[in-house]
Amino acid sequence: MVKPIIQKLESQQKRIDHYYVKPGDKIEVHSRIIEGEKQRIQVFKGDVIAIKNGLNNNRTTITVRKSSGGFGVEKIFPLHSPMVEKIQLVNRGKVRRAKLYYQRLRKGNAAKIKPKNIW
């Protein structure tokens, strides 16, 4: 059970603009990076391979995977974090599963997710 004080803080931080994200989607996550006293926005573009804790929870996280220089790079973003500036949908993917961990074993063209025709 979550304590009422924590529940109140989480409800204040909850965002309602990221509920369209689904597994298989190609997205761009604009996240704030703080280096010393400077701040900048860094874009991470990749496929959503997992959503944990459901979309109705305050502790929802999405796992985004991209291939960079022949290596797979994954990042886990808390959906309701103030460090996530915005999430842009590039295209919807045509997948049949909720968790796409099999993508970790694929390389090159085999790792592509087919886009949906209508999204």
Pairwise CA distance, residues 78 & 51, whole Å:
10
Q: Which residues touch 100 (CB under 8 Å, ≥6 apart)?
A: 23, 24, 47, 48, 49, 50, 113
Q: Write down the domain spans for the chain.
A: 4-105
- State the Cα–Cα distance between residues 90 and 78, nearest whole angstrom: 19
- Which of 5-14, 28-37, 105-114 has the least mean pLDDT? 5-14
**Is the Cα torsion angle 100, 102, 108, 109 positive or negative in sign?**
negative
pLDDT band at residue 114 using 50, 70 and 90 as cut-offs: very high
Choosing among 1.10.3720.10, 3.40.630.10, 3.30.10.20, 2.30.30.790, the CATH entry for 4-105 is 2.30.30.790
Percent of the chain topping pLDDT 70: 97
Residue 57 has pLDDT above 90, yes or no: no
Mean pLDDT of 99-110: 93
